[in-house]
Structure 1
Amino acid sequence: MPKPSVLILGGISTFASPLLSLLVPEGGEALVSFVRIVDKVSVVPATTYVSPDFLLSLKHTDLVEYRQANLTVSSTVTSVFDPPPGKEAFTIVYDLTGERDSSRPEIMHMTQTAQLAAGLGAEAQRRKVDAYVRVSYPYYKMSGSEKGGHKESSSKLVPDEGRGQWRHEASRALANIPDLNLVILRIGAEYGPNSLTGVVLPRIVAGHIYKYLKQDMKLLWSSDLKIHTIHTTDVALAAHLASEWIRTVGGRVKADALAAVEFSPSGVSKEQVEELKGICPVEKTPKAVLFNIVDDGSTTQDVIAKAVSKFWGIKHDYYGAVTALFAKLAFKDLDFREMVEDANEMHIEAWGEMLQKNTPPIDNSPISPYLPEHEFQKNAINLDGSKARKLLNFVPKHPALTLEEVEKIVKGFQAQNLWPN
């Protein structure tokens, strides 16, 4: 089989870099004939944080192209699917797009996640690509007590309001496109070197802050809160395996027969859906292939806290059941909001001091201890990843989050003078 030509849409702040490093390994044989990455930001000069690995990969100008473009414009979408002169048509598309900030207005999640995905999927279907792999997130209300984790087919998962609902509607929109050779990956809490996203990094930052403040790190909720994790390079690996799998099995119909699940309506209103182009009607329940992608660690909040505490040489503890219950009952009240604001203010002030006291001082860092209000909720991530292991032969190269993984993250940012010593 000839090497594919690949299009990566979005993901500069998430998985474009590890995916590119996998497809065009430094010092190794490329897995692709050509790859184009498209995102809204400039990388040279950089208008956002761009990992050193990504910049290194861009030097392979015969194989790699980066294009800055606004993918919400339909004419732009058409143009980015056109290959350069002399290059083969794109056969694999990795869709890493979508808004992730839970504090953004709902209209942004509607347009920047759901409607965007619908437009990209429609163009991919028109081009008859061999594989369209969409990376999605665990933005669902999950039970931490579900033994073994929630399976892909679980009817118990309800999308979080706002961000989660429109992320789910993006999946429904893609699933509703006939003949789109679609695989959706629902990943756990991501972590890894040069990764600024997810719920793991803020905990590592908090550990350093509490070391600086000479305080114990105290966390809400219980030690056994499930936060199943996945390394960013393993997300890239799973995406690659998914694209190869659907090409091997023979496309959408055969893939659906093996691994499709239903995507029920998310709970958004019919009126909202009808405002957007290409979104699946609320009356329909389309099917598509879905894989949960998590590591082998069955990670809990305490697993993360222990690794962080040991690395920074601090102690950690949990607020008692009464305090956690208060937080749960008062979540929509001003008292809880004030508590969140106070915590963020303390963390941001301390982090700013740490950056300025560093030698040399760090004037600008993309790493922030700030957490939106949503992230203080009791958000379990409890997923069963056995289907991906069985059908994709997915074996994570980073089987669990460990002290050594935390060290690599911190040391990597410190080497870039983005994290205080």
Structure 2
Amino acid sequence: MAPTVLVLGGVGFIGRNFVSYLVENSLASEIRVVDKALPATAYLSDAHKKIFEDKRVDFRQANLVNPAAAEKAFARDDGKEFDYVVNLAAETKYGQTEEVYDEKVFQLSVTVAKEAAKRTVKVFVEVSTAQVYEADKKPSSEDAKLKPWTLIAKYKLKAEEELKKIAGLNLVIVRPAIVYGPSDIFGITPRLIVGAVYRQLNEKMELLWTKELKLNTVHVTDVARGLWFVTATKEEQGGRSGPVKSPEIYNLADKGQTDQGTINNFISTIFGIETGFQGTMISQFAKLNLESVTEDVNDKHLQPWSELCKAAGVANTPLTPYLDKELLKDNSLSVDGSKIEKGLGFTYSVPQVTEETLRQVVDDFVATGIWPKGTTK
């Protein structure tokens, strides 16, 4: 009998792709998805809508910060426990207050992890972020120096530390680099939107810092596969040969060593625009005045994007070119994703970002009706 899986935050970007992976490969006999967002209002693609209609998928709406809601989310009608729990529930939007992240990242993770420990689930996977590492040009392995550089990462790391203390929790922590692919809103997509904006403005797109600034990536397909790999046993088509040696930690990052230059080159080809970098003097000025620079940058991009959408009849979209100042800083995201390969025999099916994988993101949004048609070359 295939295992049963509880996916917390399963309507989000990684969640919907993970649920799809489980359904398409018949890896679970029952998949319960719990999220505060309803699938009907989450801008699912047609393919993902179909997945959520599959008889093995059971959706429940809940705010998992609440211990009573978490308890209900874990409870099954047959009195048995879920084999595996994957926690993707967290605030993923940048620019929120510390209080928001404390509640919706830290407290939420601790609440659901305690519930999982109480029920002694076989594996509990906490999906964190590679932004917990010190921003360094050298690729960070799992034991590299920790110095979170976004508020999300700060509270994710706080959650990681707290989860390690929970007795009886079979914990695996996964730290992905920038996740991109169909349905990505906050990863590479804002840069793609900015590309569409500069095509509309007929101007050269110039970014801060240099082309060498590392923005290491991992495709959402590989994140979905990786999550299953660290969870399931070899018999269940996973990578695990025995029980969890809690806590286990794995990075997820492709082989491409993606940087700003890589992304800019693809944006240039996809949108038929010139791209470049601002140079040292302007970048140094930006460093000292990040607040006002961020405001100017966003002011420049938001109006043309809104006009593009309006002209194409896109009335509602979650997509925005808005870049939070945390992401405009010159922080390198350089990640070594090889431990999962060496330790569990995992392989990356999308070893690097390509023009095609980025075009797929845009095409998927166009098909879903939330990206204006005709913006690409």
Q: What TM-score, normalized by structure 1, do the two folds share? A: 0.84
Counterparts in 2 of 1:122-271, with a 5 A limit?
A: 122-140=114-132, 142-146=134-138, 149-155=139-145, 157-160=146-149, 162-198=151-187, 200-244=188-232, 248-252=240-244, 255-256=245-246
- Measure, in 2, the Cα distance between the counterparts of 1:197 and 1:339: 20
In the TM superposition, residue 133 of structure 1 has moved relative to its aligned partner by: 1.0
- Is the CA contact (8 Å cut-off) linking 1:131 and 1:247 kept in structure 2? no
- Is the CA contact (8 Å cut-off) linking 1:13 and 1:196 kept in structure 2? no
Instruction: Check if 1:120 corresponds to 2:101.
Output: no
In the TM superposition, residue 192 of structure 1 has moved relative to its aligned partner by: 0.4
Counterparts in 2 of 1:283-362, with a 5 A limit?
A: 288-328=247-287, 330-331=288-289, 336-358=290-312, 361-362=313-314
Q: Which of 346, 356, 366 is residue 404 of structure 1 equivalent to?
A: 356
In the TM superposition, residue 373 of structure 1 has moved relative to its aligned partner by: 1.8
Structure 2 unaligned spans of 5+? none
In the TM superposition, residue 75 of structure 1 has moved relative to its aligned partner by: 1.1
User: Which residue type is aligned with residue 70 of structure 2?
Assistant: V
Instruction: Check if 1:31 corresponds to 2:27.
Output: yes
Q: Which residue of 2 aligns with 1:43?
A: 39
User: Which residue type is aligned with residue 123 of structure 2?
Assistant: A
Q: Which of 60, 63, 70 is residue 67 of structure 1 equivalent to?
A: 60
Q: Which residue of 2 aligns with 1:83?
A: 76
- Measure, in 2, the Cα distance between the counterparts of 1:150 and 1:83: 40
In the TM superposition, residue 401 of structure 1 has moved relative to its aligned partner by: 0.6
- Measure, in 2, the Cα distance between the counterparts of 1:405 and 1:366: 20
1:113-158 Cα deviation digits (max 9, x unpaired): 1111111111101111111111111223634431xx1111012x31
- Is the CA contact (8 Å cut-off) linking 1:24 and 1:31 kept in structure 2? yes
**4+ runs deviating over 6 angstroms:** none
1:203-244 Cα deviation digits (max 9, x unpaired): 111111101100111011110111110011111100000002
Secondary structure of the equivalent of 2:85?
Answer: strand
1:157-204 Cα deviation digits (max 9, x unpaired): 311263322110111111111221111110011110122122x11111
The alignment of Structure 1 onto Structure 2 pairs a total of residues equal to 369
Q: Which of 310, 330, 339 is residue 387 of structure 1 equivalent to?
A: 339
- Is the CA contact (8 Å cut-off) linking 2:105 and 2:156 kept in structure 1? yes
Q: Which residue of 2 aligns with 1:419?
A: 371
- Is the CA contact (8 Å cut-off) linking 1:13 and 1:50 kept in structure 2? no
- Measure, in 2, the Cα distance between the counterparts of 1:375 and 1:309: 21
User: Which residue type is aligned with residue 175 of structure 2?
Assistant: R
In the TM superposition, residue 249 of structure 1 has moved relative to its aligned partner by: 4.1
- Measure, in 2, the Cα distance between the counterparts of 1:250 and 1:125: 18
In the TM superposition, residue 99 of structure 1 has moved relative to its aligned partner by: 1.6
User: Which residue type is aligned with residue 323 of structure 1?
Assistant: I
Secondary structure of the equivalent of 1:65?
Answer: strand
1:334-391 Cα deviation digits (max 9, x unpaired): xx32221121111110001111222xx1111111111112111112110111111111
Structure 1 unaligned spans of 5+? 257-287
CA RMSD of aligned residues (A): 1.7
Secondary structure of the equivalent of 2:185?
Answer: coil
- Measure, in 2, the Cα distance between the counterparts of 1:106 and 1:322: 32
Evaluate the alpha carbon distance shift between residue 109 and residue 154 of structure 1 in structure 2; reply closer, same or farther with a 3 A threshold: same
- Is the CA contact (8 Å cut-off) linking 1:35 and 1:64 kept in structure 2? yes
- Is the CA contact (8 Å cut-off) linking 2:286 and 2:293 kept in structure 1? no
In the TM superposition, residue 67 of structure 1 has moved relative to its aligned partner by: 0.5
Evaluate the alpha carbon distance shift between residue 99 and residue 114 of structure 1 in structure 2; reply closer, same or farther with a 3 A threshold: same
User: Which residue type is aligned with residue 140 of structure 2?
Assistant: H
- Measure, in 2, the Cα distance between the counterparts of 1:56 and 1:36: 15
Give percent identity, aligned residues only.
30
